[in-house]
Amino acid sequence: MMNFLTKLISGVLACVVLFFPLTAQAQTSTVFERQSLISADLSRENLSGETLQLREISDANLTEANLSHTDLRGSIFTESVMVEANLEGANLTFTVLNAVDFTGANLSQAILEDAILSRAKFENTTITGADFSNAVLDNSQIDQLCKSAEGVNEETGVATRDSLGCL
């Protein structure tokens, strides 16, 4: 039942992103404007502050990448590796992050509203002030994240524990 629900929500989210794209577009570095980011090796890259909305960055290596304060709304990162990546203050609203490895990553103050995070790995991940409102997470992920959930997101005003539905 949970697998069907995840597929249904993924499909609805994909339709929303495709048919109602986000309008705010800031300048993106020309380095990433023209190249395919599918299966890209972006390990240790500094993408801080970039606008990478509606991009497919699936199966990419973002190990130790700096994605702090990056606008990634509506992007797809399925099966990407973000081990020890810095995503502090990143906007990941409406992103697809299925099976992403966030081991040791910093998601402090990140906005993950309406993101799909099923099968994502969160070992030693910092989530202080992260907003997971309406995110699709497996029950085991919620239990794991609630153990370290604390803080309030400075932009949305939502407590991390509340956004995860922690008891």
Instruction: Say if 51 falls within a structural domain.
Output: yes
Quote the pLDDT of residue 24. 39
Instruction: Say if 96 falls within a structural domain.
Output: yes
Instruction: Say if 24 falls within a structural domain.
Output: no
Instruction: Say if 109 falls within a structural domain.
Output: yes
Instruction: Say if 21 falls within a structural domain.
Output: no
CB neighbours of residue 152 within 10 Å: 17
Domain that holds residue 139: 37-160
Quote the pLDDT of residue 37. 85
Quote the pLDDT of residue 119. 96
Tell me the CATH number at 101.
2.160.20.80
Number of domains composing the chain: 1
Quote the pLDDT of residue 3. 52
Which of the residues in the chain have pLDDT under 70? 1-36
Instruction: Say if 8 falls within a structural domain.
Output: no
Instruction: Say if 74 falls within a structural domain.
Output: yes
